[in-house]
Amino acid sequence: MNNPSTSAPSTRTRIRRLPELANYERHALYEIIDQSYVCHIAFNDGESTHCMPTACWRQDDYLYIHGSNGGRLTKTLLAGAQVSIAITHIDGLVLARSAFSHTMNYRSAVIYGVFEAVEGNINKMAAMDTFMDKIAEGRKTEARPGNDKELAATSVLRISLAEAATKISNTNPVDKEEDLDLPVWAGVLPMSVKHGEPIHMENGAIATPDYVTHWQKSV
């Protein structure tokens, strides 16, 4: 289940802890990003180091975020701050027979680099359309599109995924030999994302789109 590759793209993306869990494969990285609606961005603004959650999406080999032009995050990132971005999915609690052998199953990605602005309304709109497709495929043709004023007030930023590493743990409990016969339950308590029943604002006056109808079945 773990699929380490033989090389990391940089010294700081080399996994130091549990290197056998490292997985530098692109498809794993893409899946971790594509399944998450939020990333955590670490940056230093010259005074403090910050960790900020923000919505994210991916196109090709870039991670995208957006924000208002006047926001601190946007301004600091576009000033060239070096960032580290982490995305983590917790897939389960792994209960071993001894306390210190307990662990979690997870999939995480860490990305290093510097953001760049997506320039021009056509490029910004294309990036925002990709974001909308992630939220609800097809909705970009239904919702009122952003107008020039809305687009002008919004910054779209992207960062290359060239310097990224993933770490995946997907394991059953592993106990020391001498603990295996202890009368202690061992196993995995799985966790995942649940989609709840959609909340309709429309009282049936407007046809329900497929992505709403299928929301609860889509995970």
Site for a second copy in 101-160 (CB under 8 A): 102, 104, 106, 108, 110, 112, 128, 132, 135-136, 139-140, 142-146, 150-151, 154
Count interface residues toward a second copy (CB under 8 A): 90
3-state secondary structure of 67: strand
Encoded one letter per residue, x for contact with a second copy by CB under 8 A and - for no contact, window 71-100 reads xxx-------xxxxxx-x-x-xx-xxxxxx
Determine which residue in the list 37, 126, 138, 162 makes contact with a second copy, applying CB under 8 A: 37
Residue 4 as a binder of a second copy (CB under 8 A): the answer is no
In angstroms, what is the minimal distance from the CB of 61 to a second copy?
A: 19
Could you give the count of Cα atoms lying within 13 Å of 219 in the half-sphere of its Cβ?
Answer: 12
In angstroms, what is the minimal distance from the CB of 90 to a second copy?
A: 5
3-state secondary structure of 40: strand
CB 65 within 8 A of CB 41: yes
- The CB density around residue 40, as the number of other CB atoms within 10 Å, is 15
- The CB density around residue 64, as the number of other CB atoms within 10 Å, is 21
Nearer to a second copy, 53 or 120 (CB): 53
Max CA-CA distance within the chain? Answer: 68
